[in-house]
Amino acid sequence: MKMAQTDAHDIRIDRDASNLSLAYILVAFLAFGVAASFGLLQGLDRGGMIQMPSWLTYYQILTAHGVLMGLVFTTFFIVGFLFAGIARTTGGSLPVSARNLGWLGWWLMFVGTTMDVAAILTNNATVLYTFYAPMKATPWFYIGATALIVGSWIAGYGMFAAYGHWRKNHRGQHSPLFTFMAVSTMLLWQIATLGVAAEVLLQLIPWSFGWIDTVNVVLSRTLFWFFGHPLVYFWLLPAYIAWYVIMPKVIGSKIFSDALARLVFILFILLSTPVGFHHQLLEPGISDGWKFVHVVLTMLVVVPSMMTAFSMFATFETYGRSQGATGLFGWFKKLPWGDARFFSMFMAMLWFVPAGIGGIINASNQLNIVVHNTIWVTGHFHITVGTAVAVTFFGVSYWLLPHLTGRKLTRGVNSLGILQTVLWSAGMLFMAGSMHALGLMGAPRRTAGTTYNNDPTALAWMPWQKLAAIGGGILFAAAVLMVGIVIYQTFFAPKGEEEFPIGEVDEAAGPTPGILERWPVWLTVATALVVAAYGYPIYDLIVNAPPGVPGMRTW
Ligand code: HAS
């Protein structure tokens, strides 16, 4: 096995900061384990292999799966990872204010999650993870979601406090790249969540308590997607942090360009939010002109991902050539394929290539008509957030958990990590691959298993549905293995010291312009873009509101 070099001057995170990160990451994997079991049941149900009992319906577990995977696993993991990285790159600890805010955020998020899970399992919130009105859940579901989001805001304030503390003591210096990226991610999150906060506080909570009778559905969906698209970059950016900052160190290379990496994150802050209408291209009530504006901006938000692809190839090639590689692709063979930390992240990147192409297909107005509301979209998000992002998070966990608990990543666990990545990829190939094919055949998303009274079109989907269910089974095995690795790495791995890899910038890279860290400039541009893209459409949806809709319980 070829393990990459380790950092002799590795900084260890102190116990207080470690405990905070660990608390977040363990809740993340608890949610992941439960959600994975529901995912298996869904696949089997759609494949016609089981039928859900009346006391636990398909749509109930679909809601639990979406909320626990998409909102709880991701948010808890991200906050835990970012706190750990900030502590690691700002000297090994967190200021007291940051830690206190971190714990307050954890408690709020935990209480919010518990409320949501209770609401779903008692069948009072079977509204799926997008909780589209006019499906109406118990108010406690929306209040739980609010607590989850407010908790993550407070955790973000903790990160801003740690960043402010570092800058006060290092005037005139660029902040460490990891910390800069963590702050960018949480700033993006603060902007994004304004949409869902407005939807939940001003529309859904008063409506579900019965204080108002009806809801403006198109406005609620618009506010949801104001949040829903930057949400996907809130998931993606922590994976990009690992690719930019951790990957180079793991393979023994250097960060290609500090300035490019920072520019990428700034572009995401600017362009992530004013694009939400690409989720509503087929919805009435929004003019084609405004949809066009959002589609153009969507194509622009692809640019920072292309820059990331370029930067990753540069990092790999530089490393390979430093090891004597020749020819166009000789560097490929020099990469440390036996190192699970590298292998998992590389596979995540590889998956992001078709995932990104699928995103561009979705965003193209004409092609969206073919795929919208089909299970193609479900396939798309399983290879973006469910693979490119999740597999990166798994790869981070292999070394981060032992780093936090004072243990070692052993060769045995390293091999299991590689197996886990292979299993996850194989399962996803069957499941998400079938979902893409089924979507093109017209199979809808958000539906329980049915053959629509043996309609020939629906019967033709069945072999693919079964293949998807087999993929789901393999994914479940990979999930069980992952949870096993998490438990072992946290509680049972041999005591020792595990590196928290942080890359250094290539000496050949150009200097980083100071403008990249002038937040007032970027926040002003971001606000202007959001106002330009959403100001008039939201005003129009309020002033020329369609008839309000009373709540429905469709389950
Ligand atoms: Fe998406 C729907 C468009 C990226 C997640 N998306 C969704 C939904 C989710 C989601 C959850 O325009 C469903 C929401 C729902 O429930 O309805 N998406 C895009 C576009 C991008 C994109 C343009 N999506 C993501 C990411 C996600 C995510 C990232 C999660 C993390 N998406 C859409 C649209 C819809 C949509 C429409 C609505 C569909 C509908 O009608 O409902 C872009 O950001 C993608 C850009 C990415 C790239 C790839 C760059 C590649 C890199 C890897 C380099 C690899 C290396 C290694 C170096 C251009 C960086 C390679 C090695 C080799 C040897 C090759």
pLDDT at 10 over 90: no
The structure tokens 């902040």 sit at 175
Is 403 catalytic? The answer is: no
Mean pLDDT over 336-356 rounds to: 98
**Ligand 1 proximity of 313 Cβ (cutoff 6 Å):** yes
Q: How confident is the model at residue 353 (pLDDT cuts 50, 70, 90)?
A: very high
Q: How confident is the model at residue 9 (pLDDT cuts 50, 70, 90)?
A: low
Q: Answer whether 256's CB lies under 8 Å from 311's CB.
A: yes
Q: Give me ligand 1 centre to Cα 342, in Å.
A: 22
pLDDT tens string 135-163: 999 999 999 999 999 999 999 999 999 99
Whose C-alpha lies nearest to ligand 1, atom 6? 381
Torsion of CA 4, 317, 82, 149, to 10 degrees: -140
Is 278 catalytic? The answer is: no
Give 346-351 contacts, CB < 8 A, sequence gap 24+: 347/391, 347/421, 347/425, 348/239, 348/387, 348/388, 348/389, 348/390, 348/391, 348/392, 348/395, 349/243, 349/312, 349/388, 351/383, 351/387, 351/388, 351/391, 351/425, 351/428
Average pLDDT of every residue of the chain: 96
Q: Give me ligand 1 centre to Cα 305, in Å.
A: 9
pLDDT tens string 193-205: 999 999 999 999 9
pLDDT tens string 175-230: 999 999 999 999 999 999 999 999 999 999 999 999 999 999 999 999 999 999 99
pLDDT tens string 473-510: 999 999 999 999 999 999 999 999 999 999 999 988 98
**Ligand 1 proximity of 389 Cβ (cutoff 6 Å):** yes
In angstroms, the CA 163 to CA 53 distance is 50
Q: How confident is the model at residue 11 (pLDDT cuts 50, 70, 90)?
A: confident
HEC string of 335-350 equals: CCCCCHHHHHHHHHHH
Is 445 catalytic? The answer is: yes
Q: How confident is the model at residue 8 (pLDDT cuts 50, 70, 90)?
A: very low
Residue 215 pairs in a beta bridge with 549
**Ligand 1 proximity of 397 Cβ (cutoff 6 Å):** no
| From 76-85, 305-314, 321-330, 386-395, the region with the lowest mean pLDDT | 321-330
267, 377, 446: which to mutate for ligand 1, most atoms within 8 A of CB?
A: 377
Boundaries of every domain in the chain: 15-215, 255-333+519-546, 336-495
pLDDT tens string 269-321: 999 999 999 999 999 999 999 999 999 999 999 999 999 999 999 999 999 99
Active-site option among 99, 174, 262, 382: 382
* pLDDT number for residue 433: 98
Q: Give me ligand 1 centre to Cα 36, in Å.
A: 22
pLDDT at 2 over 80: no
Active-site option among 226, 445, 476, 534: 445
Q: Give me ligand 1 centre to Cα 384, in Å.
A: 6
End-to-end Cα distance, the chain: 53
Q: How confident is the model at residue 553 (pLDDT cuts 50, 70, 90)?
A: very high
pLDDT tens string 225-268: 999 999 999 999 999 999 999 999 999 999 999 999 999 999 99
Query: If you write DSSP's letter for every residue of 2-26 in order, what string do you get?
Result: -PPP--TTPPPPPHHHHHHHHHHHH
Mean pLDDT over 20-26 rounds to: 98
The structure tokens 């971001």 sit at 526
pLDDT at 352 over 60: yes
Is 233 catalytic? The answer is: yes
Q: Give me ligand 1 centre to Cα 351, in Å.
A: 10
**Ligand 1 proximity of 331 Cβ (cutoff 6 Å):** no
